[in-house]
C-alpha cells in the first residue's frame, strides 16, 4: 500500500502484540501485583472491544464516514508525503475494525507517524472502566490504518474537531475524549491522581 511505503516495520494489531511494555507513565515503581492487574484488565478490555468491532455493520460505518468526508470537504491521501508539514484535520480509517480516529495537527504526517510508532504505557491501555474503555489509536499498528482523509486548515481551535466527532456514532470512533473539551493528557493526570490518593489511603490503613 502506498500509504505505508516508507514505514520500516509493517505490522498489524493482534492479541499477542497488544501489550508492548510493562512500563507505566505515572507510576514510578509499579508493584508486581499492579502490573499483573493492569495486564489482566487490558486484555479483558481488548476482547470486549474486538467483539464490539465485530458487531458493527461495515455498510453503516462507511455510509457515515462518506457523508462526513463529503460534507466537510475532506480529501483522501494516497501517500503521507503529501501531508508533510501540512496543518489541519485528519481522519484515520481502520477498515478491518470499522473504526475511525479524528485528529488535528500542525504537521499531519508527523502526527500520524507518532500514532504508529508509540508504545502505549501499560497504565494507559484502559481509560476509565474495563467494560467500556475504548482502545487507543496508539495501540494499533501502521497496517491497521487503511485510509487517511485530510482537510488543510490553519484554524485548529475553532471547534471543528468536536463538530466532526459528534457526527459519528460513538462506537465508530477511537477518540477517547471530545475534541476541544479536555486533552487526553489532562484526563489521564486527573484519573491517576485519584488512583494515587486511594492507594496512599489504603497503605495508611494497612499500616495501622
User: Does 13 fall in a domain?
Assistant: no
Q: CB of 96 within 8 A of CB of 52?
A: no
User: Does 158 fall in a domain?
Assistant: yes
User: Does 184 fall in a domain?
Assistant: yes
User: Does 16 fall in a domain?
Assistant: no
Q: CB of 94 within 8 A of CB of 13?
A: no
Whether the per-residue pLDDT at 183 is higher than 70: the answer is no
Whether the per-residue pLDDT at 40 is higher than 50: the answer is yes
User: Residue 75: pLDDT band by 50, 70, 90 thresholds?
Assistant: very high
What confidence tens digit (pLDDT) does each residue in 155-170 have? Answer: 999 999 999 999 999 9
User: Residue 203: pLDDT band by 50, 70, 90 thresholds?
Assistant: low
Which of helix, strand or coil describes residue 164? Answer: helix
Number of structural domains in the chain? 1
Q: Where are the alpha helices (DSSP H) in the chain?
A: 32-54, 58-71, 108-117, 160-166, 184-207
User: Does 29 fall in a domain?
Assistant: yes
Domain limits at 59? 2-7+21-207
Of 52-66, 126-140, 192-206, least confident by mean pLDDT is: 192-206
Amino acid at each position: 500500500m502506498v500509504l505505508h511505503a516508507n514505514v520500516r516495520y509493517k505490522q498489524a494489531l493482534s492479541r499477542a502484540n497488544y501489550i508492548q511494555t510493562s512500563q507505566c507513565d505515572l507510576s514510578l515503581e509499579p508493584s508486581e501485583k499492579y502490573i499483573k492487574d493492569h495486564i489482566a484488565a487490558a486484555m479483558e478490555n481488548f476482547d470486549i472491544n474486538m467483539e464490539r468491532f465485530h458487531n458493527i455493520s461495515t455498510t453503516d460505518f462507511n455510509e457515515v464516514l462518506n457523508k462526513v468526508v463529503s460534507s466537510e470537504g475532506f480529501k483522501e491521501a494516497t501517500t503521507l508525503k503529501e501531508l508533510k508539514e501540512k496543518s489541519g484535520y485528519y481522519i484515520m480509517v481502520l477498515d478491518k475494525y470499522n473504526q475511525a480516529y479524528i485528529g488535528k495537527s500542525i504537521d499531519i504526517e508527523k502526527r500520524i507517524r507518532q500514532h504508529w510508532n508509540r508504545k502505549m504505557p501499560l497504565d494507559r491501555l484502559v481509560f476509565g472502566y474495563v467494560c467500556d474503555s475504548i482502545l487507543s489509536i496508539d495501540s494499533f499498528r501502521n497496517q491497521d490504518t487503511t485510509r487517511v482523509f485530510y482537510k488543510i486548515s490553519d484554524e485548529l481551535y475553532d471547534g471543528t474537531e468536536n463538530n466532526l466527532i459528534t457526527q459519528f456514532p460513538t462506537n465508530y470512533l477511537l477518540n477517547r475524549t471530545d475534541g476541544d473539551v479536555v486533552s487526553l493528557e489532562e484526563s489521564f493526570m486527573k484519573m491517576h491522581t485519584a488512583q494515587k490518593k486511594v492507594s496512599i489511603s489504603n497503605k495508611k490503613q494497612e499500616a495501622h
